[in-house]
Chains A and B, each alone.
Chain A
Amino acid sequence: MGEMEELRKEADNLKDQITEARKVVQDTTLQEAVAGTTLVGRVQLKTRKTLRGHLAKIYAMHWGTDTNCSKLCVSASQDGKLIVWDTLTTNKVNAIPLKSSWVMTCAYAPSGNMVACGGLDNMCSIYNLKGKDGNVKVMRELAAHTGYLSCCRFLNDSEIITSSGDCTCILWDIETGTEKTIFAGHLGDCMSLAVSPDFKMFISGACDFTAKLWDIREATCRQTFSGHESDINAIGFFPNGNAVITGSDDATCKLYDLRADQELITYQDSGIMCGVTSLAASLSGRLLLAGYDDFNVNIWDMLKAERVGVLAGHDNRVSCIGVSSDGMACCTGSWDSFLKIWN
């Protein structure tokens, strides 16, 4: 097959070109650049609230972002419930029973009007929190994925992006319940996604060990980042949108710069041998909080790549973590069925 041979050669050439182009701009390393920067002092956060109410493992949580709900968050548990919490009072604002208890992800719309969830039912269910009669009902069931729903994030009240075990991500029109764009390219289950601060791009992490940057409106994959040696479970943007942080089963987190198109640093420690399940950046981006399979959260100085703190308090795997939009608090969710608020 002459054509296959030619295509293979061209692919190899292009890969070499990319490797070369990345080397050309590598005039220093982040490690060298921050040599003169002082390490952040020890960070000691305390549990301020414990949110009790779920009866099984918590798989996901997401903070509200609107000024009206900056202290609200939604959590999803395999007890078959989505709970919207007022984190200041620990009261449950809503307790939403789900059709399928095998939930893996949840999301809060930026407007605060809706929440979404999905999991082994392969669907993304959208719930209207502000229905006329006060009842929370399913508004849409977005069905098209042929694999489990691993993550979902709202762009606005009419659009949501989902990632799936079928190796694709989809941009949905919530109104019509149909797919606007299918983002294909990953060669393994997509595990996590994050939307850029300007809502123009999103990044996905997958079981093919790569992270991909997608242009939402152009519907293209702009960049692919490799380096991890196992599944990427968690992904997030650095607050200015110019860099991406990933967390993997290979026990490390990595920082990739989008404009330099390469990995800048790896967050690893010989004492850490278990997978990263979740991650979140503090408001300034200086701190990286990462949840691990060993029940802890490690806090890293993002520039110096050294551990500066630990959050120990859960009795099982930390499955999800988030920093509130005003940066005032960090929330962790665990397989021990509790959520904790720290600052």
Chain B
Amino acid sequence: MGGIPLSEISHTEKLPLLRNCGRCVETIMSSKMQSSNNTAHARRTVQQLRIEASIERIKVSKASADLMHYCGEHAKYDPLLMGIPASENPFKDKKPCTIL
């Protein structure tokens, strides 16, 4: 079994040369094949942005209210939040009783 230990792989080393830094994509190379790849990539980027721009958005006030409401409604059923009584905790080791 070969391979580099994960701790030694830098994720950022894997980023391809084409980086979208918030603006349109461009490469340094200038061969014809590269520039038609560029155009195809740029067209796909624009297509994707059109999809993302067209969605309907709700107000943050409504989004926040819905999250708060969900938390409130489900709090009593959340064992990690409410705590679990020892007698109902299947993970708690039951200590043996000693009769004095």
Q: Which residues of A contact B (CB under 8 A)?
A: 1, 3-4, 7-8, 10-12, 14-15, 17-18, 21-22, 24-30, 33-34, 37, 40, 43, 45, 48-49, 59, 71, 78, 80, 87-88, 100-102, 104, 120, 147, 165, 167, 185, 187-189, 191, 207-208, 220-224, 231, 238-240, 242-243, 249, 257, 259-262, 264, 282-287, 302-303, 323, 326-330, 341, 343
Contacts and interface: CB of A to CB of B under 8 A. Distances in A.
Contacts of B64: 28-30, 33-34, 257, 264
8 contacts: A21-B57, A26-B60, A27-B60, A28-B59, A207-B12, A284-B70, A286-B71, A343-B89
Contacts of A284: 70-71, 73-75, 77-78, 81
A171 to B, nearest CB: 18
Interface of B is mostly: helix
Contacts of A28: 59-61, 64
B71 A302 contact: yes
Given A189-B14, A328-B84, 12 more contacts: A1-B35, A11-B46, A21-B53, A28-B59, A34-B68, A59-B6, A185-B48, A207-B12, A239-B70, A259-B62, A264-B63, A285-B67
A78 B6 CA distance: 10
Contacts of A7: 24, 39, 42-43, 45-46
Nearest to A326: B79
Contacts of B55: 222-223, 261
B23 A12 contact: yes
Given A88-B90, A242-B66, A327 B24 contact: no
B59 A187 contact: no
A99 B93 CA distance: 37
A207 B59 contact: no
A243 B67 contact: yes
B8 interface: no
A224 B49 CA distance: 9
A239 B74 contact: yes
A208 B20 contact: yes
Interface residues of B, number: 58
B59 A27 contact: yes
Contact of A188 (B15, B66, B93): B15
A49 B89 CA distance: 12
Contact of B23 (A8, A59, A189, A207): A8
B28 interface: no
A49 B90 CA distance: 11
B60 A303 contact: no
Interface in B62-100: 62-68, 70-71, 73-75, 77-81, 84, 89-93
A229 to B, nearest CB: 12
Nearest to A166: B14
B79 A343 contact: yes
A104 B79 contact: no
A238 B81 contact: no
A1 B77 CA distance: 60
